[in-house]
Chains A and B, each alone.
Chain A
Amino acid sequence: MSREVLENFRFLLLEVIKQAEDTYRVCRKPSRQAVERIVARDDYIDELKGLILAKCFNRLSDPAEKENVDSGLLRAIDVITGNLEHIADYCVNIVGQLSYLEELSTLQEFDYESMFTEALGSLRLVEEALLKGDISLALRICRSEAETDRLYDRCFRLIMEELKKGQRAGDLVTVLFIFRYLERMGDSLLNIGESLIGRSVGEEIKIRHFQAIEEALSEVEGEDGARDFRFRRLAETRSGCKVGMVLRSGGGGSRGIIFKDGRKEKVLREKESFEEWDRIIPGLTPKVIGFHDEGDTASLLVEHLPGSTFQEILLSERMAMVEECLGLILETLQTIWEKTLIPRPVCADFAGQMAARSEEVLKVHPDFRGAALTVCGLREDPLDRLLERVREVEASNPASFQVLIHGDLNSDNVICDRRNNCVYFVDLYRSAYSDYVQDLSVFMVSCLRLPVSDNAFRRRIQKVEASCLDSGLDFAARQKDGGFRRRLALGLARSLFTSTRFELDPRRSRDMLMRAVYLMKEYCRWDERGGRAGEMLGEVLAF
């Protein structure tokens, strides 16, 4: 790091520490000079912060520094500097509140000293934690937030009790404001601590996630070195799960572990699904390495699988490779379906799935709502009425058997390992016994909706769609499933419709909707029109 940036950062840190110390002193014994000093210092702190950020950005944008610049460190300094400035602002706010107190003694009844001690203790660790990359110190700084919250909560209750007595309300509310600012210092310290941890593990990470990974690793591999990992964020899923890659070194190389964190109910369901799938078809899902829950959230560590997702293969590999992987996927699906088939009718409830997402779709595309239209006497239903009709028809047309389905078989939830000639399923939290058409249709539309308009690529997609359709027809014929085409039409309509919420291009989204509406209308009048749409499926999938 540039010596200059580091020097300015040290100055800033020292000034913020002084600011907090002086604020504490003023709370004990107010003095006008001290208050003026605090206010003046705040301007200096703001200037220092601006200077540091400007220097950081200059380094980042200087082509000559491209090789030497430690962008992770600069990012940490950016976050820490911003939060230090907030802490300094809270100090100014606190001394500002003091002037509203009629009796300073009201403040002295409550324990602000412990809160200042906590904040100052952590502030004094920041420099060492940053320079040494010491995770223990960073964790200690993070813990300030919980401790500050605890202290705040205690004082909050005492202040409430006093307020109930009906006297000194003005002073008590002022004191409450002061404690609120102290509590917010804890929040800023948590941000600082998390940024410091991020500096050590490679990327910014929430303390909760760090602890979950550490906990899970120590359960599996013992306490030693459980903190010794690097973290790389992979994605934040639409369902709110955080997904990251934990890299462990040792044994002559590094190995990756996938980390998922989210709502407990969902993560637990995924863990159970992994285990259930592993019992039925061993090796199809990644091994669960660790699970850790706390309150409403939970984390899951699973084995990182070799290979690429089918989506990656479809987008970048040769057609022969695509066909080979697709063959493997379709073969695997047939095996699963045969192995898990239960001769009990089931309704996938595609209409319900569409209804559950229609609000989201309409938020993105309000014009989809439409109205009932007539064209020279021919009537077209609006979307909600059409969905209602579909629901009625679907209820009396279930599949005659059920199988274990993935539940969200998007092309990026299937991993193909060409070296070992096998496929893996990931993201199994929606797995259940249901209609096999659900997985097939989700998979088909996930390929179809890829936003690549190049003709050669669209032809490639056509081949994929045709192979999926053939595979489905083949299985349906063997199971004497006469309703396959009709249910597939509805399954495709469901996925086309719900996918429009991720498609902002008006032409493409409108095109997807029109195809979905066509399939839904045909689904409803299937018998009346001799299942004509069944013959049209190939064409509906051509775009």
Chain B
Amino acid sequence: MARPGEFEYESLQDCRSVASYLEAIGSGFAEGKLAFGSDEQQMVLEPRGLVKLSIKASVKGDRIKLSVKLSWSERGERQNKSKPLVIGTAGD
């Protein structure tokens, strides 16, 4: 179970489904809004300005790993907002 302020999802997908996820996340960046949530809580991220993108790929025998890490700071904006990171329940 993810802690408040965190979202975690792990699953097994085939490549077509992986593409759907990447597309959905890509659209979220394009629109400036990424929503992650469960029945209990929802988290909305609003990336603006500069985003650090790091891509790592490794091949160790038959084990392949590709990690894409995106990080940015919302400090200025989020501090101005009265709402915390977890902004409400699903359906709000």
Report which A residues bind B (CB closer than 8 A): 367, 371-378, 380, 382, 510, 514-515, 517-518, 529, 532-533, 536, 540
| 8 cross-chain pairs, A with B, having the tightest CB-CB distances, nearest first | A376-B24, A371-B38, A514-B12, A518-B12, A376-B28, A371-B39, A374-B37, A372-B39
CA distance A378 to B35 in the complex (A): 10
Out of A367, A372, A376, A518, name the residue touching B27 (CB < 8 Å). A376
Q: Please, which residues of chain B bring their CB within 8 A of the CB of A377?
A: 24, 27, 35
Tell me whether chain B's interface is mostly helix, strand or loop, or mixed.
mixed
Interface: B54 (CB within 8 A): no
A510 to chain B, nearest CB (A): 7
- With A376-B24, A517-B12 given, name 6 new contacts (CB 8 A): A372-B39, A373-B9, A374-B38, A374-B42, A374-B90, A382-B39
A515 touches B14 (CB 8 A): no
* Contact B24 A375, beta carbon cutoff 8 Å: yes
**Contact mask for chain B residues 21-48; partner A; CB cutoff 8 A; 1 contact, 0 none:** 1001101100000111111101000000
Nearest Cβ on chain A to B15's Cβ, whole angstroms: 10
**Cβ contacts under 8 Å, A515 to chain B:** 12
Most buried by B among A374, A378, A514, A517: A374
A-B contact count (CB 8 A): 55
Which residues on the A side are within 8 Å of B14 (C-beta)? 518, 532-533, 536
Residues of chain A within 8 A (CB-CB) of B13 are: 518
Of the candidates A375, A510, A532, A533, the one whose C-beta lies within 8 Å of that of B9 is A375
Does B53 make an interface contact (CB < 8 A)? no
A512 to chain B, nearest CB (A): 10
Cα of A533 to Cα of B13 in the assembled complex, Å = 10
Q: Please give me the residue from chain B that is nearest to A522 by CB atom.
A: B14
Q: Closest residue of chain A to B29, judged by CB?
A: A376
Q: Does B3 lie at the interface of the complex (its beta carbon under 8 Å from any beta carbon of A)?
A: no
CA separation between A517 and B11, bound complex, in Å? 8
Q: Is the CB of A518 within 8 A of B11?
A: yes
Measured in the bound complex, the distance between the Cα atoms of B11 and A451 in whole Å is 21
Select B1's contact among A367, A514, A517, A536, beta carbons within 8 Å: A367
Inter-subunit contact B38/A373 (CB<8 Å):
yes
B20 within 8 A of A: yes
**Residues of chain A with a CB closer than 8 A to B11's CB:** 380, 514, 517-518
Enumerate chain B interface residues (CB-CB to A < 8 A). Answer: 1, 9-14, 16, 20-21, 24-25, 27-28, 34-40, 42, 90
Residues on the B chain within 8 Å of A533, using CB: 14
A–B Cβ pairs within 8 angstroms, 8 of them: A375-B36, A376-B25, A376-B27, A376-B36, A377-B35, A510-B10, A514-B12, A533-B14
Cβ of A448 to closest chain B Cβ, rounded Å: 15
Q: Nearest CB to that of B8 among chain A residues?
A: A373
Q: Which of B1, B16, B21, B40 contacts A375 (CB 8 A)?
A: B21
Inter-chain CA distance A510–B25, complex, in Å, is: 24
Given contacts A380-B9, A510-B10, A518-B12, A371 and B20 within 8 Å (CB-CB):
no
Cross-interface CB contact of A378 among B10, B12, B20, B42, cutoff 8 Å? B20
Task: Kindly report which residue of chain B lies nearest to residue A529, judged by CB atoms.
Answer: B16
Nearest to A540 among chain B residues (CB) is B12
CA distance A518 to B12 in the complex (A): 6
With a cutoff of 8 Å between Cβ atoms, the chain A residues found around residue B28 in the complex are 376
Alpha-carbon gap, A380 to B8, bound state (A): 12
Which residues of A are found within 8 Å of B42, using beta-carbon distances? 374
Partner of B24, one of A378, A510, A540: A378
Q: What is the minimal beta-carbon distance from A492 to any residue of chain B, in angstroms?
A: 13
Q: Are A371 and B40 in contact (CB under 8 A)?
A: yes
Q: Is B25 a contact of A532 with CB atoms below 8 Å?
A: no
Chain A residues, Cβ within 8 Å of B20 = 378
Smallest beta-carbon distance A192→chain B, Å? 51
Shortest Cβ distance from B11 into A: residue: A514
| Residues of chain A contacted by B9 (CB below 8 angstroms) | 373, 375, 380
CB of B88 to closest CB in A, whole Å: 13
